[in-house]
Amino acid sequence: MKDKALETKLRVLTLQLDSWKKLHDFITYGLDKAKPIVSAEQERQFTEIRAYLLQETEFVFKELDLLGELSGKAMNVLQRASSIRGVRDLTNDEVRRLEMEWNGVFTKLGVLQGQLKTQRKELAKMHPLKYYLNRALRRPILATS
């Protein structure tokens, strides 16, 4: 049995996590003193990922019911990390805050992804009749949901 809303949540969450991971790769690269060259192509890719996150974050967090909890942290990260070169120019304090807030967003999304996957697994075992009965009676589909 598959639940449409659950599948949509998992899909957008996976895409969102993927973008946050890529953003982190670039931030790490920017902060790495041993890699001094930042190419125009890298900056372009960074801006592209930042643009995806800027336009999708609010929508995705709303879908996942995380808007209040994560929106501020996510916006702080995206505003501080304006470019790879910009990240390089941040003070140690700002870098620490950036990493802490990125970690806050990533951890929450990762945990939620695990929870949603668990729900999907349980749903796959559920008999279709029980699923539709729960829906018709407006009961929670799963005990955990």
Partner 1 sequence: METRLLIVNSDPVFQDRALALFDMMESIEVRVVRALSDAISVLLGENFDALFVEGDGPLALEQAANVRQHFPSLEIVCLVSGPCDSDSTQLATQQNINVILANGSDRRLDRDIRSFVQTLERPLGAAAEGIDPCHSLIGNLNQFSAAEILQMSCLGQRSGRFTFKSGRGNSEIYLQQGSVRHAVFDSLEGEAAVAEVFRWRQGRFYFEEGIISQVQTVNRPWAHLLIDNLQKLDETLELASVNASSYEG
In the complex, the residues that contact partner 1 under the rule CB under 8 A are: 2, 4, 7-8, 11-12, 14-16, 22, 25-26, 29, 32, 35, 37, 39, 41-42, 45, 52, 56, 59-60
Least separation in angstroms between CB 118 and partner 1: 17
Least separation in angstroms between CB 26 and partner 1: 7
In the complex with partner 1, which residue's Cβ is closer, 28 or 118?
A: 28
CA distance 33 to 47: 21
Least separation in angstroms between CB 68 and partner 1: 20
In the complex with partner 1, which residue's Cβ is closer, 40 or 91?
A: 40
In the complex with partner 1, which residue's Cβ is closer, 91 or 127?
A: 127
DSSP 34-70: T-----HHHHHHHHHHHHHHHHHHHHHHHHTT-HHHH
CA distance 45 to 59: 22
SS3 label, residue 72: helix
CA distance 17 to 44: 20
Least separation in angstroms between CB 80 and partner 1: 20
DSSP 76-115: HHHHH-S-HHHHHTS-HHHHHHHHHHHHHHHHHHHHHHHH
Least separation in angstroms between CB 93 and partner 1: 25
In the complex with partner 1, which residue's Cβ is closer, 52 or 97?
A: 52
In the complex with partner 1, which residue's Cβ is closer, 58 or 97?
A: 58
